[in-house]
Amino acid sequence: MAKKYRIAWLQGDGIGKDVMEAAKIVLDRVQLDAEYIPGDIGWEFWRREGDAFPQRTIELLKSVDAAMFGAITSKPVKAAEKELDLKLQGKGLVYRSPIVRMRQLFDLYVCLRPCKAYPHNPLNFKENIDLVMFRENTEDLYAGVEFNTVPDKLRDTLIELSPPFKAFKSLKSDEYAISCKINTKKGSERIIRAAFEFARKFKRKKVTVIHKANVVRATDGLFLETAKAVAKDFPEIAMDDANIDAIMMWLLKNPLNYDVLVAPNLYGDIASDLCAQMVGGLGFGCSGNIGKGLAVFEPTHGSAPKYAGLYKVNPIATILAAKMMLDWLGEVKPAQAIEAAVAAVVREGKARTYDMGGTTTTLEMARAIADKC
Ligand code: NAI
Ligand code: MG
């Protein structure tokens, strides 16, 4: 009989494999009626095929209800080219992060990152932290419009259009590089609206808009102005804003003063790791990449190559990502069961992975959580 859900299962590289195996133990325990379909993604496919996100995986994602993703290894363009199979070298293949491509291709514009301190976690920076980050996921400095070697035509246009650019006039084309920060009104508005709608739905009190509009005036100015306009539709929710540098300090100083946060892509990426660290570190940072038709859930962390295959790292981030997937699918009861089990295991303190000061392995932690589901 056909299962209720088709879930793409993208393990990726390094500890992506370890933590996904752990998450599967928990999903099996809550008996989600799903077929899990493995998909190829990551470094080995770049090396062998020159594509870390092969077309067959793109097709798979078009056919599923949701996806779980572990992590991938990314390297700078030149280092990546050197690792290509010899027969692919010199063909002009350019490495791009598959997760960034996936977010753009499927328009997964919301990156939702809850950061909640589960009581008695020895790693909590403070008890009661309960922050929710909304990171714009498709544009900004991650738009992918970059020039390692700047074409003369682009240089000449920039000199013509932008007086400060004259400072770079004397440089040769390979002596500088350009990465474009591109933010649209539509892209800003939909992530900001998503943050406010979440705040309304879950009776949150405040949305804080992160930017650097005093210096990065064009793009961050647009983001901030858009936020002020959107906020008018949500009079019951307070809005404030802060520069990315200042909020790094304020979040550490007074994390309980913050509630829902919304940021353009890069600042959201940076602030999410800080928020994750305040509630236990990357081993607790879970994430959903959410679009209109598809959502892909993953831990915030990367492939941590030095721990790959050791079954040492903390799977809770990925288990909580699976919980987010269940919420998104409308499977609220098993989602609640998983979160309650995580909270109970953390509270008891018997199972602790190395990052929590213990010796529990990745899969033992998953089984401890599954046993409480
Ligand atoms: P990372 O997140 O992989 O690891 C940094 C450190 O965080 C680790 O060395 C470890 O000490 C700790 N850590 C990470 N996950 C943990 C867990 N589950 N339990 C306990 N401790 C954990 O970041 P790093 O080292 O900067 O990047 C490694 C690779 O991952 C790079 O190739 C990078 O490009 C890639 N990356 C991929 C991401 C993704 O797939 N979404 C996100 C971030 C990085
Ligand atoms: Mg990150």
Structural domains in the chain, CATH included, are 1-124+284-373 (3.40.718.10), 146-179 (no CATH), 184-278 (3.40.50.2300)
Region 274-278 average pLDDT = 95
* Each residue's pLDDT tens digit, 24-39: 999 999 999 999 999 9
Using a 10 angstrom Cβ sphere, with 0-12 exposed, 13-18 middle and 19 or more buried, the burial of residue 28 is middle
**pLDDT number for residue 47:** 95
* Each residue's pLDDT tens digit, 195-238: 999 999 999 999 999 999 999 999 999 999 999 999 999 999 99
Shortest-distance Cα residue to atom 26 of ligand 1: 302
Q: Which alpha helices (DSSP H) does the chain contain, by range?
A: 15-29, 43-49, 55-62, 77-83, 98-105, 152-161, 185-201, 217-231, 244-253, 265-278, 316-329, 332-348, 362-371
Helical pair 217-231 and 185-201, crossing angle rounded to 10 deg: 40
The residue to mutate among 301, 311, 316, having the most atoms of ligand 1 within 8 angstroms of its beta carbon, is 301
By the CB criterion, residues less than 5 angstroms from ion ligand 2 are 269
Q: How far apart are CA 244 and CA 350, in angstroms?
A: 38
Give the ligand at the shortest distance from the Cα of 52.
1
Residue 272, pLDDT above cutoff 90? yes
**pLDDT number for residue 349:** 97
Q: How far is the CA of 338 from the centre of ligand 1 (A)?
A: 24
pTM exceeding the 0.75 threshold for the entire prediction: yes
Q: How far is the CA of 277 from the centre of ligand 1 (A)?
A: 13
Q: How far is the CA of 74 from the centre of ligand 1 (A)?
A: 10
Ligand 1 pocket residues where CB is under 6 Å: 19, 71-74, 99, 282-283, 298, 301-304, 306, 313-314, 317, 355
Using a 10 angstrom Cβ sphere, with 0-12 exposed, 13-18 middle and 19 or more buried, the burial of residue 90 is exposed
